[in-house]
Structure 1
Amino acid sequence: MKNNRFPLKYSFWPLVLFLMAVLLAFWPRYFSQLGEAPINPHFHAHGVTMTLWCLLLILQPILIRYNYRKLHRILGYFSYLLVPLIFYSIIDLLLFRFNGIPALGSFHLYFVALVVNSAVAFLLVYGLAIYFRKKVHLHARFMIVTVFTILTPVTDRLTYRFAPEWVQMVPVIDGAPIVQVIGFVIADAILLTLILSDWLSGRKPYAFGAALGIMLFMQYTIMNFYKFDFWRSFAEWLLGVV
């Protein structure tokens, strides 16, 4: 019988590293400001819900490892409330940032696709995790994968802060560098590594394979939807641009 315990037993360590990356990325303009200056409620709602999600991802495998299954289930039920709040906070922040914009250029349309399509991918992967909640190892893998759908806000900030020379290597839209491409490459590379790890260990890489397919489709739509009239119509409706 193949050993399938790795993602469940040790998955919280990579998630701890992800939380550390989140703290580092958002420290200058969010976490360091807590208690020091008023924070816009739109940003604060998003920051709180996403931080809770990161903490939940870390805590859940620990609870399973130490056999606190009842508490694990309770927090799982809490996610039914938290995930819709996350989705709402993402869209609410987008609407706030674009409030009053007179017209949408190609970069604006791209950014709407980045935010909306990433949020939809997050919901889809979370939905798969819940659907397979009784198949522990599929459930655990899909929960881990939710991180990849929300990776680019972290990689964007870390790139600008620690590797600004990379910005010159990415494509541009309306003169703006599409630095999210770096996050896409990192996410895809990690998923390919996880697929290979499952395959070499004799496991069926269904979850990570499906996740890679979702990510690639998400990335394609983000990079291309801004070119189409239907997306302009949707974005103008969403943002109330007339």
Structure 2
Amino acid sequence: MATVLVSRPLTAERWFYLGMAGTILIVVFAGFAPSFYLRGVIAPRIEMHPMTPLVIAHGLLFTSWVLLFATQVGLISADRRDLHRILGKAGFVLVILMPIVGALAALNGVARHAGPPQFAPLAWLAVPLLDVPVFTTLIAAALYHRRSAQKHKRLMLIATIGMLMPAMGRLLLPIPFPAVIAATYGIMLGALIVWDIKSQGKIHVATRWGGSFLIASWIFRLSIMQTATWLAFAGWAQSFVV
């Protein structure tokens, strides 16, 4: 008996998430091509800092996450939920390693003056260091809601969007940093909000809470990064890796 495989057309929802995943891949590659992926091939637009094993590990882990996210979106679009679940379990290793390596890379970045020149290193530490609890919280919420597909996929997308700031910052130079934040979330979260309204007639609860949490984290970071309290804490935290 011949087996006929029927390829079903992709739904609008799947096209949306594939488009978002593709956009994230392009932004990350384009933003980090001069300093990481094609280092030495493309002329950098910013000062190049030495590559250390920790920086390389950090770059590889976060690249792996973006590739994992895109692959998971592709598997769902292909109706391979079995592989999606298996790969999700394997990807849990990344969820454990990324906060640890991300925090170490942020703290080591102070000595390397890895942030923008307009910010003092200890002040800038508020940006990458607080990325860690924000990302971890959003991923934890997405995993908690893994049985609710609509909540899960939105929270995973928002968590990944939260990682785009370094790449967007490099692409949008020399735009002031607050404008980079506004552009990144205006475009990426804005696209999700438009999709919610188009597909459901309202902004989904996961988009509201996840997006608000992400934006609030940036308001918090910008408000504390120049304060004496933060600078004292940052100096104390950074002293453990010196």
Q: What is the CA–CA distance in structure 1 between the aligned matches of 2:156 and 2:144, rounded to whole Å?
A: 11
Q: 1:42 to 1:9 in 2, by over 3 A?
A: same
In the alignment, the residues of structure 2 paired with residue 24 and residue 88 of structure 1 have an alpha-carbon distance, to the nearest angstrom, of 25
Partner of 1:71: 83
RMSD: 2.7
Deviation string for 1:77-111 (max 9, x for gaps)? Answer: 1222102211122212122222388xxx9733331
- Could you list the per-position Cα deviations for residues 129-173 of structure 1 after superposition, in whole angstroms to 9, with x for gaps in the alignment? 10100001110111111122112101111112xxx3xx3xx3xxx
CA distance in 2, matches of 1:132, 1:106: 38
Q: Which residue of 2 aligns with 1:185?
A: 183
Counterpart of 1:12 (choices 18, 28, 31) is: 18
Alignment match, 2:220: 221
Whether the aligned pair in 2 keeps the contact of 1:63 and 1:71 (CA below 8 Å) is: yes
Helix, strand or coil at the partner of 1:134 = coil
TM-score, structure 2 normalization: 0.79
Match in the other structure for 2:122: 109
Tell me which of 126, 133, 149 is aligned to 1:120.
Answer: 133
Q: Cα offset for 1:119?
A: 2.0
Q: How does 1:44-55 map to 2 (within 5 A)?
A: 44-55=56-67
- Tell me which residue corresponds to 1:175: none
Label 1:224 to 1:107 Cα distance change in 2 as closer, same or farther (>3 A).
farther
Alignment deviations for residues 18-69 of structure 1 (CA, whole Å, 9 cap, x no partner): 111211111112111399xx94211110111111111111111221222322
| The one of 193, 196, 199 aligned to 2:197 | 199
**Secondary structure at 1:11 match in 2:** helix
Q: Is 1:89 matched with 2:101?
A: yes
Q: 1:190 to 1:129 in 2, by over 3 A?
A: same
Aligned length: 218
For the 8 Å contact 1:188–1:215, the answer to whether it is kept is no
SS at 1:114 equivalent: helix
Q: Distance in 2 between matches of 1:223 and 1:193?
A: 24
**SS of residue paired to 1:27:** helix
1:174 corresponds in structure 2 to none
SS at match of 1:33: coil
Large movers: runs of 4+ above 4 Å: 5-9
Counterpart for residue 176 of structure 1: none
User: Structure 1's 202 and 31: CA in aligned 2 closer, same or farther, altered over 3 A?
Assistant: closer
1:149–1:215 contact (8 Å) kept in structure 2: yes
Name structure 2 gaps, 5 residues minimum.
1-10, 42-49
Residues 156 and 180 in structure 1, CA contact (< 8 A), matched pair in contact too: no
Partner residue, 2:232:
233
SS in 2 for 1:14: helix
In the alignment, is the contact (CA less than 8 A) between 2:65 and 2:94 conserved in 1?
Answer: yes
Deviation at 1:181, TM superposition (A): 3.6
Change (3 A) 1:180 1:110: farther
What residue is the counterpart of 1:144 in the other structure? 157
1:31 aligns with 2:40: no
Secondary structure in 2 matching 1:154: helix
Structure of greater relative contact order (alpha carbons < 8 Å, 6+ residues apart): 1
